């Protein structure tokens, strides 16, 4: 087996079990804070309804609780009515219940111990597990119900993250004398605006890095499959067509016309995904592997760029595993026991679990950053720099700039690639690509640039403030 096959067959499930259990442990560790914060929130709400908290200072002027309740009800109704979300009335009710509970927890935890210790992953997994168990209890195990479970957990995750961010902003605003009402209005506007921008950006990135990859399945006929008992066919032939596309891993362009086929569950050995079917023979010719969370990373030795989405993949794994009862529990439990063993040794298991789960191409860069941080902290221990300077010095600012700059450049490149048709087409049009010749495809150039960037980060971090 190749390294990628070993990861897909074994390491992926071990890492998923480790991350899920580590998130739940982080949530359990926060239970005292959670119980205290939830009780305090209920007490504040009860006091306000009894008229004991009418007189407030300007710095305590919040938006009315009626707006919060009304907004929650309106959101639940909108989610239940939008067919694209795939949430029914029960799902909307679960969103309100889980969202209210975990938003309260996230807000209090962030206010007391900071946003970096906010266990959003654990709360999201807990909401997903609770939703899936409820669905299993009432017999909802179809494809539509899996989509609904993930949608519920996704909305709860966004609500939890926004609650923590709001708490952080309000705490900072209180220190400088801001009015909470005005801050909350600004946060609401920012959340609505960012939802549009983030959704558009993710769609752009996914389209820019989605490539048709040749993949045939002899004997498989999409037209012969009947709808399943849940009402949705395991395979759906879409009315849309596709032609004139660049094939991933090659320089050729296929201008034949194909129909788009959606495979929702593993059927006759064909993995779930989006495929292109020859309309004459009803045979699958290509898989439209998505740019975000795609499963194919190379084709005939040529790298295919992908944007990994580990948390979303874990959510899908948990949902499929519980609702279909088709999860390699031995590997998942191995990851759980690894997490427990690490916790018993007194080490925070979540960073280790994430390192196990992420591919080496991602975790190696994070490891390099950790080594640089370790070297800088060693200098701080010798007295040449204080720990406070390390925590808030130019190295942290430079690292933040690298993250933001890399994200912005990635969006710009994806936008240009979307106009040209693919990221490969963008590289071929760049003058530097032809000037470098064979070095343009060499990993040596990337290693040299990465090492130079690491040295630059180290030197900048050592500068006095």
pLDDT, tens digit, for every residue of 175-200?
A: 788 888 888 899 989 988 888 888 88
pLDDT value of residue 229: 44
Average pLDDT over residues 395-411: 83
Q: CB-based burial of residue 413 (10 Å sphere; 0-12 exposed, 13-18 middle, 19+ buried)?
A: middle
Highest mean pLDDT among 146-155, 362-371, 397-406: 146-155
Prediction pTM value:
0.69
Residues in the chain: 465
Residue with the two structure tokens 């045939």: 216
Note the pLDDT of residue 198. Answer: 86
* Residue 379 C-beta-side C-alpha neighbours within 13 Å: 16
Least confident span in 3-7, 274-278, 321-325, 336-340: 3-7
Q: Which two tokens stand for residue 100?
A: 């209210």
In whole angstroms, give the CA distance from residue 276 to residue 256: 11
Structure tokens, 246 = 């660049």
Higher pLDDT, 34 or 237: 237
For 333-370, letters b (16+ CB in 10 Å) and e give ebbbebbeebbeeeeebbebbbbbbbbeeeeeeeeeee
> Is the pLDDT assigned to residue 224 strictly greater than 70?
no
pLDDT digits (tens, 9 = 90+) for 278-310: 888 888 888 888 888 887 877 777 777 778 777
In a 10 Å sphere around its CB, with 0-12 CB exposed, 13-18 middle and 19+ buried, how is residue 88 labelled?
A: middle
């Amino acid at each position: 087996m190749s390294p990628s096959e070993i990861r897909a067959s074994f390491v992926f499930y071990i890492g998923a079990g480790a991350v899920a259990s580590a998130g739940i442990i982080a949530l359990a560790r926060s239970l005292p804070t959670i119980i205290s914060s939830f009780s305090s929130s209920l007490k504040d709400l009860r006091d306000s309804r009894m008229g004991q908290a009418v007189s407030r200072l300007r710095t305590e002027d919040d938006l009315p609780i009626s707006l919060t309740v009304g907004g929650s009800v309106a959101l639940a109704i909108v989610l239940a009515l939008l067919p694209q979300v795939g949430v029914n009335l029960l799902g909307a009710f679960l969103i309100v219940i889980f969202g209210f509970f975990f938003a309260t927890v996230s807000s209090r935890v962030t206010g007391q111990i900071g946003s970096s210790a906010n266990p959003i992953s654990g709360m999201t997994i807990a909401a997903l597990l609770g939703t899936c168990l409820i669905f299993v209890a009432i017999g909802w195990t179809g494809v539509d119900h899996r989509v609904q479970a993930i949608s519920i957990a996704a909305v709860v995750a966004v609500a939890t993250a926004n609650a923590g961010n709001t708490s952080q902003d309000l705490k900072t605003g209180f220190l400088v004398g801001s009015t909470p009402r005005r801050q909350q209005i600004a946060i609401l506007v920012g959340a609505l605006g960012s939802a549009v921008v983030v959704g558009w950006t993710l769609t752009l990135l996914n389209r820019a890095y989605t490539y048709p990859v040749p993949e045939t399945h002899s004997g498989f006929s999409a037209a012969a499959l009947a709808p399943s008992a849940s009402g949705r066919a395991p395979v759906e032939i879409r009315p849309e067509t596709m032609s004139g596309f660049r094939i991933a891993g090659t320089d050729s362009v296929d201008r034949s016309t194909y129909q788009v086929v959606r495979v929702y569950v593993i059927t006759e050995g064909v993995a779930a995904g989006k495929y292109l079917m020859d309309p004459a023979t009803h045979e699958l010719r290509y898989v439209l592997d998505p740019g975000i969370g795609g499963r194919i990373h190379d084709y005939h030795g040529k790298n295919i760029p992908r944007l990994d989405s580990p948390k979303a993949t874990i959510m899908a794994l948990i949902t499929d595993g519980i609702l279909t009862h088709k999860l390699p529990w031995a590997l998942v439990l191995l990851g759980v026991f690894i997490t427990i063993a690490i916790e018993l040794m007194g080490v925070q298991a979540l960073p280790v679990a994430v390192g196990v789960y992420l591919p080496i191409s991602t975790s190696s860069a994070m490891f390099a950053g950790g080594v640089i941080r370790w070297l800088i902290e060693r200098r701080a221990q010798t007295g040449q720099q204080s720990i406070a300077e390390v925590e808030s010095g130019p190295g942290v600012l430079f690292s933040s700039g690298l993250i933001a700059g890399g994200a912005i450049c990635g969006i710009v490149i994806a936008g240009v690639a979307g106009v040209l048709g693919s990221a490969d087409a963008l590289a071929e049009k760049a003058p530097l690509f032809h000037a470098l010749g064979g070095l343009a495809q060499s990993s040596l150039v990337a290693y040299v640039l990465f090492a130079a960037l690491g040295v630059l980060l180290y030197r900048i971090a050592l500068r006095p403030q």
